[in-house]
């Protein structure tokens, strides 16, 4: 899968490049790598986000960056816009 990023997701990645977030950035990059290889990778625990749809009405998915952690981070994404592509909508703590 080819990963594409919204401006919001790109900004989060840019902010994570600060030395203060080195560990978090490593986890996010690992998750993005797995997502690129296989969005159904068991370690991602990818599932449809039930309470919200994307802006265009398509299914919004979430994948785990962390689990069993207060404020655990997630990657929110949608399939598309073209076959073989995933658009990363945002990255951040679980709401």
Q: Domain-by-domain residue ranges, the chain?
A: 2-93
Rounded percentage of the chain residues whose pLDDT exceeds 70: 94
Predicted confidence at residue 49, as pLDDT, reads: 78
**Cα–Cα distances in angstroms (integers) from residue 20 to residues 48, 63, 64, 68, 84, in the given order:** 31, 23, 21, 21, 34
How far apart CA 5 and CA 18 sit, in angstroms, is 19
| pLDDT, tens digit (0-9, with 9 covering 90-100), for 24-55 | 999 999 999 999 999 999 999 999 877 766 66
Cβ atoms of 86 and 5 closer than 8 Å: no
User: CA-based angle 6:45:2, to the nearest 5?
Assistant: 35
DSSP state of 55: T
Say what the pTM is: 0.90
CATH topology of domain 2-93: YaeB-like fold (3.30.2310)
């Amino acid at each position: 899968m080819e990963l594409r990023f919204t401006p919001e997701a790109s900004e989060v990645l840019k902010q994570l490049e600060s030395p203060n977030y080195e560990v978090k950035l490593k986890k996010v990059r690992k998750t993005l790598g797995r997502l690129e290889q296989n969005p159904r990778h068991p370690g991602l625990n990818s599932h449809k986000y039930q309470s919200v749809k994307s802006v265009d009405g398509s299914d919004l998915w979430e994948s785990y960056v962390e689990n069993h952690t207060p404020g655990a981070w997630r990657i929110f994404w949608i399939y598309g816009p073209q076959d073989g592509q995933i658009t990363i909508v945002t990255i951040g703590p679980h709401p």
